[in-house]
C-alpha cells in the first residue's frame, strides 16, 4: 500500500465475522473490485488467507495504513478494542474521511469526540451472507448525500436497508442483528425436544424439517403480506391439534421472551457504559 488518500478505496479495520462477510458481499455483488479494498487485522499471519482468496486486495500492516489509503473506512473490531483504534487513527483522519461503524454500543457522539468527519453507523446481520436480512443505518450531519447513497447502496445489494434513529438502534438490533442467534437458539430447542420424543428422525433430518418450514413460512408471509396471527388461524383450527401446541407456547413464551429482551438490553447498557468511560 502506497501513501496518500485514494478516493476510490474502501478500508476495513478488522477481518473477523463481519469484516469478512462485508468484503465478500461487496465483491460478490460486483459493487467493489478487490483492488479497491485495503484491509488489516490484528493477527498478521492470518492476512495470508485473504490474499489467497483475493490476490488483488491491498493488505495494510495496521489501522493507520488503512486510514492513509482509503476514504471510506469500516471499523469492524469488537467494542472493547474500539477506542484504541480511534485514538490510533485520529491524527490521520481528515474531514473528507467517512467512517462506517458497525458497533451498536458505540454512540456516534462518542466517535465525534475523537474524530471530525462523516460517520455512518450500520448494524449488519450475518444473514446478509445469504444476501438477506435488514441492515440498520444512520448518518451524522457530516455525511454528504452522495456518501450516504453510496453506503446505503452497498448494503442495499446484500440486504434491505432501514434508515432509523440512532436512539432505536440497540433495540432494533435485537431483532435484526442478534436475531439470527436468538432464532437459532429457539429452534434448536424445538429440534432437541423432537429428538427426545422420537427415534425415527435424527438431528439433521429434524433440522431440515424445521428450516424448510421456517423458510416457507417466512416466504409465504412476506409474499401474501400475512402476519403471524394469520398463519396461526390458518393452521391451528379451533379444537384441532395445532391449537393445543399454540396454547402451550402462548402460556410459556411471553415470560421467556420478556426475560430475553431484558437481559440483552441490560447487557447492552452495561457494555455501552463501559465503552462511554473509554471516551471520557
Task: Determine if 77 is a binding residue for ligand NAP (CB under 6 A).
Answer: yes
- Please give the Cα distance from 182 to 24 (Å, whole number): 24
Give 13 or 151: the residue with its C-beta nearer to ligand NAP: 13
Identify which range of 72-80, 146-154, 205-213, 218-226 contacts ligand NAP by CB under 6 A: 72-80
Instruction: Please report how close the Cβ of residue 63 comes to ligand NAP at its closest, in angstroms.
Output: 5
Q: Among the residues of the chain, which ranges form H helices?
A: 17-28, 47-53, 63-69, 82-89, 108-114, 145-156, 169-176, 179-197, 203-224, 228-235, 241-278
- Please give the Cα distance from 146 to 138 (Å, whole number): 14
Task: Determine if 13 is a binding residue for ligand NAP (CB under 6 A).
Answer: yes
Label the pairing between strands 98-101 and 10-13: unpaired
Task: Determine if 199 is a binding residue for ligand NAP (CB under 6 A).
Answer: no
Site for ligand NAP in 100-139 (CB under 6 A): 102-103, 123-126
Starting at the edge strand found earlier in the chain, the sheet holding 58-59 runs 58-59, 37-40, 10-13, 72-75, 98-101, 118-123, 134-139, 160-163
Is residue 1 within 8 Å of residue 69, measured between CB atoms? yes
Task: Determine if 42 is a binding residue for ligand NAP (CB under 6 A).
Answer: yes
Q: Which of 29, 79, 162, 210 binds ligand NAP (CB under 6 A)?
A: 79
Cα-flanking dihedrals φ and ψ of residue 13, to 5°? -105, 105
Give 47 or 236: the residue with its C-beta nearer to ligand NAP: 47
Task: Determine if 99 is a binding residue for ligand NAP (CB under 6 A).
Answer: no
Instruction: Please report how close the Cβ of residue 18 comes to ligand NAP at its closest, in angstroms.
Output: 3
* Site residues, ligand NAP (CB under 6 A): 13-19, 40-43, 46, 63, 76-79, 81, 85, 102-103, 123-126, 177
Amino acid at each position: 500500500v502506497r501513501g496518500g488518500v485514494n478516493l476510490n478505496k474502501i478500508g476495513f479495520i478488522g477481518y473477523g465475522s463481519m469484516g469478512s462477510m462485508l468484503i465478500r458481499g461487496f465483491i460478490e455483488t460486483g459493487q467493489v473490485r478487490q483492488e479497491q479494498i485495503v484491509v488489516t487485522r490484528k493477527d498478521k499471519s492470518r492476512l495470508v488467507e485473504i490474499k489467497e482468496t483475493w490476490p488483488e486486495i491491498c493488505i495494510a500492516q495496521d489501522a493507520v495504513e488503512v486510514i492513509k489509503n482509503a476514504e471510506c473506512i469500516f471499523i469492524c473490531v469488537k467494542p472493547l478494542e474500539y477506542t484504541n483504534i480511534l485514538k490510533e487513527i485520529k491524527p490521520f483522519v481528515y474531514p473528507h474521511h467517512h467512517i462506517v461503524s458497525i458497533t451498536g454500543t458505540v454512540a456516534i457522539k462518542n466517535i465525534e469526540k475523537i474524530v471530525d468527519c462523516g460517520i455512518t453507523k450500520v448494524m449488519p446481520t450475518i444473514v446478509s451472507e445469504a444476501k438477506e436480512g435488514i441492515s440498520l443505518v444512520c448518518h451524522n450531519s457530516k455525511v454528504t448525500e452522495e456518501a450516504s447513497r453510496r453506503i446505503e447502496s452497498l448494503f442495499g445489494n446484500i440486504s434491505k436497508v432501514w434508515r432509523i434513529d440512532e436512539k432505536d438502534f440497540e433495540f432494533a438490533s435485537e431483532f435484526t442483528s442478534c436475531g439470527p442467534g436468538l432464532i437459532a437458539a429457539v429452534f434448536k430447542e424445538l429440534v432437541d425436544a423432537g429428538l427426545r420424543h422420537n427415534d425415527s428422525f435424527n438431528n439433521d433430518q429434524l433440522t431440515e424439517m424445521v428450516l424448510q418450514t421456517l423458510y416457507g413460512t417466512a416466504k409465504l408471509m412476506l409474499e401474501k403480506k400475512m402476519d403471524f396471527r394469520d398463519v396461526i388461524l390458518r393452521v391451528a383450527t379451533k379444537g384441532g391439534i395445532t391449537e393445543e401446541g399454540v396454547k402451550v407456547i402462548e402460556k410459556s413464551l411471553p415470560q421467556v421472551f420478556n426475560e430475553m429482551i431484558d437481559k440483552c438490553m441490560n447487557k447492552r447498557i452495561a457494555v455501552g457504559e463501559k465503552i462511554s468511560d473509554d471516551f471520557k
